[in-house]
Amino acid sequence: MSTEAVSGTTGTLLVVDDDPDMQRLLALWLRAAGHTVRTVSSAAEALTQVCIARPELVITDLRMEGMDGMALVSRLLGDAPSLPVVMLSGAAAIPDALAATRLGASAFLTKPPTREALLAEVARQLERSQSGGSRQGSFGAGFVHRSSVIAALLEEAALLAKGDISIMISGATGTGKEVLARAIHAGSPRGDKPFIGINCGAIPEQLLESELFGHEKGAFTGAATRHEGLFVAADGGTLFLDEIGDMPVSLQVKLLRVLQDLEVRPVGAVRGTPIDVRVISATHQDLEQLMLAGEFREDLYYRLNGVSLHIPALGERREDIAPLTGWFLARHAARTRTSLKRFDADALALLVSAPWPGNARQLANVVEQCATLAREDLIPLSLTQRALRGHAGQIQTLKEAREDFDRQYLVSVMRLANGNVATAARLAGRNRTEFYKLLEQHRIEAAQFRSDLGP
Amino acid sequence: MSAPHDAERTPILVEVERDLAELIPGFLANRANDVVSVRALVSRDDLQSVCRIGHSMKGSGGGYGFDTITRLGGEMEQAARAGDGTKVLALADELEDFLARVRPVFS
């Protein structure tokens, strides 16, 4: 037998053939070469299998009862554009097989296939898709998942990352919009340039304008020094505009102009600075509704939404809960340098069935809390129930929400004032003593804002 | 067998990959079933189903090392498509004969 493929690229494969003898033969060859193989007898079963657990490659017969291989290819590639499909067909059906490759199948082999030809083709397809970085590779490594819906999303994102089109990410709070934006940036040709994110909803209008576009010294009261702005800071890289739906309409006009002219003019500046920035924006709101209500500019929407990606809520992809939980536990252990904890079976079952209105972020908080409070390495159901109750509905108390806002506001003002507390206090309309108290309360140190942003 | 005919006395040796050894008896038994099915289908004039059986044999035979089965399957598919039941039956006889004489030699 040929064993050379054992040392080559291996993967998880799905074999689709309605002839059981053929199925057995292909499975034996592929397993002997080190691949993990599942077999099904119909295209319909194949579609179900792909939904349950996405394989890295599909090998399918062309002629099958019911849905044939051709229809399967078009269905598969609609859902997973870069999933390699190898088609097997009799010599008489070569024209059909060629049509299938035009449809998107990666390759075809004539039946009866030889072992060598099959293994070589499988290895070639796996290598191509894995080295393309589009699947299972490094892309989106931070986006822990098991669901095929996220696998498909990452696949699409990996392809989009290579280009320069502006991307709009939608999804509820805590679904991982920034994680995805970072993955796209990292997988893009701009990956070694800055990724700068800003939450457009957390900053008052004047500050947001200055943060984004920068300002000249003396441009307004309190602008004691020049501030270059995030567009300039992100030059060559990616600017992530989170909660874009919260951006005031007046700033939307300015943003649109920057995106159209590829030039940013800091507040108070006479001349513009050319910029080369890819913009990824995100929102949990329905921007089309906002447009209808006149709260979001249509022209800006189309400028930002070159292509849109939607991250489904965690409740719509429960198979991701267990792997995410494992990942958060590992992160907790690494951060706190403690032993790796795990949930007992009942506790994990509870996590998997919980509602998660706050999505992955809420799950992270619950896992973090359990891992911190657990005395043993095995986290029990009772502790998990308590943590879940504590995070019910993920609604912050008014006090927590105010504190969050204050913290973000103080950080913005301090950044704008380059760490000068007197200036920051003036901008915020507070006296210096009071302002110092606020900084202290939130453990914000002025020095942190001085070093990185000189005039 | 009390009166073996010549064919049974002349085994056909076919070299087969050793790691397929476990699958071979099942594969050959399924072909023997195909012979029975094909004859029944011809008697019912269901050549379309014969066509599918021939197509399957053609696709899998060579992979297992039995090029003869691939050839017979292909010819059976063609004959069935042409509506030639007599030819199909002759091919079924040929397949039955092959199955009776084939001796896999594992390499």
Q: Residues A334-370: pLDDT tens digits?
A: 888 888 888 888 888 888 888 898 899 999 999 999 9
Confidence of residue A396 (pLDDT cuts 50, 70, 90): low
A206 or A454, higher pLDDT:
A206
**% of chain A at pLDDT higher than 70:** 89
Which of A83-87, A286-290, A325-329, A445-449 is predicted least confidently? Answer: A445-449
Span A106-124, average pLDDT? 89
What pLDDT does A6 receive? 41
At CA A132, angle to CA A126 and CA A133, rounded to 5? 100
Residue A308 has pLDDT above 80, yes or no: yes
Using a CB-CB cut-off of 8 Å, the residues of chain B touching A32 are 19
Confidence of residue B60 (pLDDT cuts 50, 70, 90): very high
Span A382-410, average pLDDT? 75
What pLDDT does A90 receive? 75
Partner-chain contact A24 B70, CB within 8 Å: no
Partner-chain contact A21 B26, CB within 8 Å: yes
Span B30-40, average pLDDT? 95
H or E stretch at A239: strand A238-242
How close is the nearest chain B Cα to the Cα of A19, in Å?
7
Q: Which of A24, A28, A112 has the CB atom closest to B59's CB atom?
A: A112
In angstroms, the CA A4 to CA A9 distance is 11
Please name which of A124, A112, A140 lies closest in space to residue A56, comparing C-alpha atoms.
Answer: A124
Residue A138 has pLDDT above 70, yes or no: no
What pLDDT does A282 receive? 96
| DSSP classification of residue A63 | S
Partner-chain contact A1 B60, CB within 8 Å: no
Which of A394-398, A419-423, A441-445, B22-26 is predicted least confidently? Answer: A394-398
Partner-chain contact A22 B63, CB within 8 Å: yes
Please name which of A127, A201, A420, A177 lies closest in space to residue A314, comparing C-alpha atoms.
Answer: A177
Partner-chain contact B58 A90, CB within 8 Å: yes
Q: A1, A15, A16, A21: best mutation site toward chain B, by most B Cβ within 10 Å?
A: A21
In angstroms, the CA A293 to CA A329 distance is 43
CA distances from B6 to A379, B10, B11, B13 (A): 75, 7, 10, 16
Residue B84 has pLDDT above 90, yes or no: yes
Residue B36 has pLDDT above 50, yes or no: yes
What pLDDT does A443 receive? 77
Question: In this structure, are residues A152 and A80 in contact, taking their beta carbons and an 8 Å threshold?
Answer: yes
Span A217-235, average pLDDT? 79
Q: Does A61 touch chain B (CB under 8 A)?
A: yes
Using a CB-CB cut-off of 8 Å, the residues of chain A touching B58 are 90, 111-112
What pLDDT does A207 receive? 82
- Report field, pTM of the whole predicted structure over 0.90: no
What pLDDT does A7 receive? 44
What pLDDT does B50 receive? 96
**Cα R_g (chain B), whole angstroms:** 14
Residue A270 has pLDDT above 60, yes or no: yes
Q: Does A32 touch chain B (CB under 8 A)?
A: yes
Using a CB-CB cut-off of 8 Å, the residues of chain A touching B27 are 21, 24-25
Q: Does B98 touch chain A (CB under 8 A)?
A: no
Q: How far is CA A10 from the centre of its chain?
A: 26
Residue A217 has pLDDT above 90, yes or no: no
At CA A285, angle to CA A281 and CA A289, rounded to 5? 110
Q: Give the residue carrying structure tokens 């077999």.
A: A39
Confidence of residue B94 (pLDDT cuts 50, 70, 90): very high
Partner-chain contact A111 B59, CB within 8 Å: yes
Partner-chain contact A115 B70, CB within 8 Å: no
Using a CB-CB cut-off of 8 Å, the residues of chain B touching A28 are 19-20, 23
Q: Which of B23, B55, B63 has the CB atom closest to A90's CB atom?
A: B55
What pLDDT does A82 receive? 66
Q: Which of A1, A22, A115 has the CB atom closest to B59's CB atom?
A: A22
Partner-chain contact B59 A28, CB within 8 Å: no
